[in-house]
Structure 1
């Protein structure tokens, strides 16, 4: 097992094919900053082909309470703050946000399966980080909330697409517009969570899920994940073709050709 620190209070630990990424600001409930998103993007860019599973965690009692309070400054001179973004020309502001989104979108990269281990609060950017992952394991006290609309903003860290995929249009719209908290029981019932466990059981549940994922041969696992992801956007004919192509590759590999 190897460990490393990266900027933005993000810590990574590697154990074979499993990379664990930990938000490590427990004294700030793992509040996020542009440095956090840059660090996450750096982790994604550094992945090698041997990584099969990425586990995303938050140190301490909360997964992530969202944006660091300093970012809510309307002063254009505050680096990374909302005021600085708002004062930029639209194209520049959008390019800056694109760089922030890069810290999230890689969690659905081909070749890996990402798992969010969520305890306590996952608010705003924290909820969107959990949503960016393929799978979510929540503790019984966990809740997710997207309060951006109530603050005059929108969820802009890739959260709207993944939320809608998971719970459907009308429920996603209601969750985003009301900004209400979605508790663990509701998350499980609506497909936001894959499992809900007691707080003391989070590590064991995540470890069991990771073991089950990595038990399958790597080629079959990656092809299957790619098929499920493409099913969200493909029409039936295109998806059938993708299945045929993937199975042909698997059969050829098993036959040694």
Structure 2
């Protein structure tokens, strides 16, 4: 598929999705959100993709926010639909993908950009990254899951401060908060993401998908994460990956997981 605002590359079981609106600092407009949905959906269905990395083009920004010009004149109803639709087709969609998603945060990740990074399964940042949710400075609040995921990742007090002050934190503070897993020089960012992805690829994609569902269940209202874990654990016993993994262990060789 051809995209207007994305560059998508696949190699060595890794699909890299690059948000490519450099003149807008890769800001998320509705067209880009729809394209991201399609790109993530296609990568998730691709048997040759075992890890997805998402990043922004250029050196200045991962995603510097949403495209404010699109919704500056919205009504209450239109604003509500904007948030609900965005969460449904992109942010919740990414969080619940069966394929692991790594956010390579280069430069600014603000507003919708930080919300996209937080929807990914984990984050790696360049040392020049700046992160924040500045929405209250515009008279609005984060609407793409930011109030929920930031609190889950950094705790209530820190999330409240970041949201209320509308300020940015640098990469090292984000690392200290647990918002990102690693900080590296910008020219090493994708290299580290690919190194981590290579480690993931060696393992059972079926088991990883089950682990994603089990971890996410802890944060879903009305769902018992422990019970989800029990169910997903049991399901593993019916997979070819389990048979291969246990057989390889007993035979003292590396497993060659079929992904089934």
| TM-score, structure 1 normalization | 0.84
1:5 aligns with 2:2: yes
1:18 corresponding residue in structure 2: 14
8 Å Cα contact 1:138/1:193 also seen in 2: yes
2:176 to 185, 189, 208: 189
Q: 1:137 to 1:153 in 2, by over 3 A?
A: same
Counterpart contact for 2:126–2:184, Cα < 8 Å = yes
Instruction: Map 1:188-207 onto structure 2 (within 5 A).
Output: 188-207=175-194
User: Match of 1:96?
Assistant: 82
Residues 118-161 of structure 1 deviation map (CA, whole Å, 9 limit, x = unaligned)? 11111112111111211110011111011100110111122221
1:88-127 matched pairs, under 5 angstroms: 90-101=76-87, 102-127=89-114
Please state whether the residue corresponding to 1:31 is helix, strand or coil. Answer: coil
- Cα distance per residue 1:38-63 (max 9 Å; x no partner): 21122234341624322111000121
Residue pair 1:66, 1:124 contacting (<8 A) in 2 also = yes
1:27 equivalent in alignment to 2:13: no
How many Å apart are 1:92 and its aligned residue?
4.3
Q: For 1:14 and 1:31, how far apart are their aligned partners in 2?
A: 23
Of 175-184 and 242-251, more deviation after overlay is shown by 242-251
Give the structure-2-normalised TM-score.
Answer: 0.83
The equivalent residue for 1:75 is none
Conserved? CA contact 2:118–2:150, under 8 Å: yes
- Which of 220, 238, 243 is equivalent to 2:224? 238
Aligned counterpart, 2:45:
48
Aligned residues: 238
Could you list the structure 1 runs, at least 4 aligned residues long, displaced by more than 6 angstroms after superposition: none
Instruction: Write the deviation string for residues 62-91 of structure 1: whole angstroms up to 9, x where unpaired.
Output: 2122233xx34xxxxxxx3321x23xxx44
Three-state SS of the structure 1 residue aligned to 2:10 is: strand
Q: Is the 8 A contact 1:37 1:104 kept in 2?
A: no
Equivalences for 1:63-212 in 2 at 5 Å? 63-68=62-67, 71-72=68-69, 80-83=70-73, 85-86=74-75, 90-101=76-87, 102-212=89-199
> Contact (CA 8 Å) 1:119, 1:139: kept in 2 or not?
yes
In structure 2, the gaps of 5 or more residues are 245-260
For the Cα contact (< 8 Å) 2:71–2:79, is it kept in 1? no
Cα contact 1:49–1:111 (8 A) shared by 2 = no
The verdict on how the C-alpha distance between 1:126 and 1:243 changes in structure 2, with shifts beyond 3 A counting, is closer
